[in-house]
Amino acid sequence: MRELRKKMESNSVESLEEVQDVGAEEIDYEKIEIELTMHKVIADEEWELIKDFYLRGITIRELAEKYGITENNMTVRLHRLRKKIRERIGS
């Protein structure tokens, strides 16, 4: 999970216009591979939750409010997602 976070943090989010200006040789294939892998491993909503917490820096409290659950429940949900990812990708 740490490796995924580091890889995703190192890649800044680019707008569609920026991507269109970049030649094919400059496309970040590693980021694309991570995205494709995560879509196979977990549901889209789960992937958004992971990105919100690890990449966008949204706090547990903010996420709990967004999803209408307690902070403790959000912590458990994130823990289970990390476990699910580890089990499915074999890390």
Span 29-65, pLDDT tens digits:
888 887 888 878 888 999 999 999 998 999 999 999 9
What is the domain partition of the chain in residue ranges?
2-89
pLDDT of residue 41: 86
Which residues contact residue 74 at a Cβ distance below 8 angstroms, ignoring those fewer than 6 apart?
60, 63, 64, 67
Answer positive or negative: Cα dihedral of 22, 24, 26, 27.
Answer: positive
Per-residue model confidence as pLDDT tens digits over 65-78: 999 999 999 999 99
Q: Which CATH number fits domain 2-89: 1.10.3470, 1.20.1420, 1.10.10, 1.10.8?
A: 1.10.10
Q: Are 71 and 61 in contact (CB under 8 A)?
A: yes
Average pLDDT, the chain: 80
pLDDT of residue 28: 80
pTM of the model: 0.63
